[in-house]
Amino acid sequence: MTEVMAGIDIGGTNTVFGLVDREGNILAEGHMSTAVYDEVEDYLEALAAHVLALVASADPPVALQGVGVGGPNGHYFSGTIEDAPNLPWKGTLEVADLLSEHTGVPVVLTNDANAAAMGEMLYGAAEGMKDFVVVTLGTGLGSGYVVDGKVMYGWSGFAGELGHVIVKENGRLCGCGRRGCLETYVSAPGLVRTVMEMLGDAPRGSSLRGIPMSEMTARNVTEAAQAGDAVARDAFSSTGHILGLALANTIAITSPQAIILFGGLAQAGRLILEPTLKTMETMTLSNLKGSTRLLLSALMQRNAAVLGAAALAWDDMGKKA
């Protein structure tokens, strides 16, 4: 009977889950609504039932060994989600303990960026590496640091928040309550805001000018840049420059083998990769130049959230074996 881990990604609107074997094959997948449950206990009971039903219906049969969970503000040491702004329940949520109670198997939890890092190490672009960083570029900017083959959690359990490094004092307001965080400039909403500022500062023609800010998306900007729109291309150059500076600082601190970009904004490919790499290489310390590769995720065409969470569980079981 094939041994599997369940990988779960908890989002503010939807939750996705799947069964993953040791080789990283997703054998079955499912999803459910997150937001329709008033109580987190009811949500976790329903989630466990969905996962167990997936196990029961698997053909050929599988044996569930454990569960890995990636979620916002996930705390690896305590197995809790703490004050996640995009979830319908507030305070400290005892996710790992309650899921373990309902499924009957061990549960390990971390934030989604750390789960993505585990996925890249076991199944993706970081396979065989022990020192690397994954940067997730989406609605926000998440990051997972792996040092000597282990995710870096720090004393508090919340280490590695590159998205909340302040890059401009008194800059853009961040969801964390501070101003000038990296993710307010380097993220899908950050790119859109940069475009709007550029359109307001100069009377240049642009195919983006007629789109209201409330309707503009990073996809609009990417498509315009691919079509040669100068404002869109400048926005990507500015975004990549800021990200490149942050990555040069990251190299000075952890000296990773690679930094891997993942997420919706990373799917812009060369538009974000080239300006980021140019600044990163220019600003990296001279004795570290050329030591870190900048790569795109190898998991973007797969269900990376499920793979990453399952990889976390496989890794955790290996440590306890």
**CATH code of the domain containing 184:** 3.30.420.40
Looking at the fold, whether 16 and 160 belong to one and the same domain comes out as no
CA–CA separation, 153 and 78 (whole Å) = 12
Task: Quote the number of domains for the chain.
Answer: 2
Closest CA to 276 of 248, 252, 241, 238: 241
Instruction: Tell me the pairing of strands 293-296 and 258-262.
Output: parallel
Looking at the fold, whether 134 and 186 belong to one and the same domain comes out as yes
Looking at the fold, whether 149 and 284 belong to one and the same domain comes out as yes
What tokens appear for 132 in the block?
């690397």
CA–CA separation, 151 and 89 (whole Å) = 27
Instruction: Tell me the pairing of strands 258-262 and 150-151.
Output: unpaired
- Residuewise pLDDT in 10s, the chain (321 residues): 899 999 999 988 889 999 999 999 999 999 999 989 999 999 999 999 999 999 999 999 999 999 999 988 899 999 999 888 778 898 999 999 999 999 999 999 999 889 989 999 989 999 999 999 999 998 889 999 999 999 999 998 889 999 999 999 999 999 888 999 999 999 999 999 999 999 987 667 888 988 888 899 999 999 999 999 999 999 999 999 999 999 999 999 999 999 999 988 999 999 999 999 999 999 999 999 999 999 999 887 777 889 999 999 998 887 665
Give the structural domain span for 148.
130-296
User: Is residue 239 in some structural domain?
Assistant: yes
Reported as type and span, the H/E element at residue 224 is: helix 218-226
Reported as type and span, the H/E element at residue 230 is: helix 230-254
Looking at the fold, whether 95 and 203 belong to one and the same domain comes out as no
Looking at the fold, whether 98 and 26 belong to one and the same domain comes out as yes
User: Is residue 208 in some structural domain?
Assistant: yes
User: Is residue 125 in some structural domain?
Assistant: no
Looking at the fold, whether 74 and 174 belong to one and the same domain comes out as no
Do the Cβ atoms of 115 and 311 come closer than 8 Å?
yes
CA–CA separation, 64 and 52 (whole Å) = 9
- In the sheet that holds 74-75, the strands lie side by side as 74-75, 80-82, 92-93
User: Is residue 152 in some structural domain?
Assistant: yes
